[in-house]
Structure 1
């Protein structure tokens, strides 16, 4: 098996929204804001090559929304999914499976694109199966008012209409359907959104956890640094506390989806609790 970081694009969000009640004087040490209080973020996917399988975890914002939509998110940089797949010798049609941690637009928007004449939508990965779970699917297709703007119908419903949508069981009992021999577990967390899935991947002699929106950037490691976007922030803190203990006990490396500048992070225990230790690239750790 091999792992590849795929930066799908970069955007900005309000720093206060990303850190909730944490004072700016604290969070700006790790995530400096511009004159509009926006911080730099990424949409970094993880590509797993395992035998004949090529599995992509999340797929970024996509490009089918209009300029007004993207104007809210201050896109920057020249990264995109196709460019970074090509860097490792792949194209979209090579992808066999797209694993979606959850269905907010910045995690699944790239799964669906306009058709050729822009009269409708089609899967952006024509040879892939899409994977979510039934409880989260129901949450996304019958959204609460808080998350309605994050669950866009054009990102979600075409997956089902294409016949390429699949549900993973909750909890997962070892049979993934798409890759039964894959050395991966899944942690389910509900504070950010119902049944968000965090893949736990055993690779070489390390364990890499795709941290998704539980710990979106290196600046979000402390337990109480919780996003204002979370639907149940107190539950997030509880889940995060348990997860951070697992990370320390098992020496997990965190793969950071939304950190624009850091791919991987290790953690350490301090007198103030679990804190960031060091940041790395996949190449630093695995040497390719």
Structure 2
């Protein structure tokens, strides 16, 4: 098995929205804001090469939205999904599986692209199975008013229309069986219903793709919960339970949205679970 970080594009989000009720004087210690109160955010995906299977976890927001849409997110840097795949020696047609932690636009937008004449949409990865779960799919296709702006139909419905959509059943993982991988999935509901967090066994180490349960290292303290979460009072115990397990079992946490800290480990302290080490991706795989 080989792992590759795929940088699908950096952007910025409002720091207050990213930290909810936490005062700015506290969260800016770890996530400094610019003059517009915006903080650096990554869309760091994970590519897994395992035998003849090539699996991409999440896809970033893609490039099919209009200029007005992207104007809200202050994109920065030179990263994009296709060039990052190419840099690792792969083409979108090589991908056999796309695992979507959830269907918010910044996690699944890159899964669908314009067709050649821009009259409709098509899967970016034409040879891939797209994996979600039935409960989250229903949640995303019949969205509540709080999340309707995050679940964009053009990102979601073409997956089903293509015939490439597959559902993972709880608690067993059809995905893991199909890909012959030691691949566990934690389902969490605080951020959005039935978000899926992959646990990958790599050379005896457990790497957890954190998606939006822990967007950045600055979100480690329990009250530091995003304003975007639909059930923040559920995020708290989900996060507490997971971080305790991560500290006790020396999990490596792959941070999808932290632009400056790709992988971290955590430890138990008198103040709760806190940051232990920050690692580059190369440090982790070596």
For residues 140-169 of structure 1, what are the alpha-carbon distances to aligned partners after superposition, in whole Å with 9 as ceiling and x for unaligned?
000000000000000000000000000000
Gaps of 5+ in 2: none
- The residue that corresponds to 1:23 in the other structure is 23
* Pair 1:241 & 2:247 matched: no
Question: What is the Cα-based RMSD across aligned positions, in Å?
Answer: 1.0
- The residue that corresponds to 2:44 in the other structure is 44
* d(CA) in 1 for partners of 2:173, 2:26: 41
Q: Under a length normalisation based on structure 2, what TM-score does the superposition of the two structures give? A: 0.98
* Pair 1:280 & 2:279 matched: yes
* Mapping 1:137-286, distance limit 5 Å: 137-171=137-171, 173-176=172-175, 179-286=178-285
Indicate if the aligned counterparts of 1:6 and 1:46 stay in contact, CA closer than 8 A: yes
For residues 189-214 of structure 1, what are the alpha-carbon distances to aligned partners after superposition, in whole Å with 9 as ceiling and x for unaligned?
00000000000011002100000000
For residues 180-232 of structure 1, what are the alpha-carbon distances to aligned partners after superposition, in whole Å with 9 as ceiling and x for unaligned?
42011000000000000000011002100000000011111111110000000
Q: How many residues are paired up?
A: 286
Q: 1:268 to 1:72 in 2, by over 3 A?
A: same
Indicate if the aligned counterparts of 1:97 and 1:178 stay in contact, CA closer than 8 A: no
* d(CA) in 1 for partners of 2:236, 2:187: 14
Gaps of 5+ in 1: none
Q: Flag as ranges the 4+ runs of structure 1 deviating above 6 A.
A: none
For residues 232-274 of structure 1, what are the alpha-carbon distances to aligned partners after superposition, in whole Å with 9 as ceiling and x for unaligned?
0000001001101110121101000001111100101111000
Farther off after superposition, 24-33 or 278-287: 278-287
Q: Under a length normalisation based on structure 1, what TM-score does the superposition of the two structures give? A: 0.97
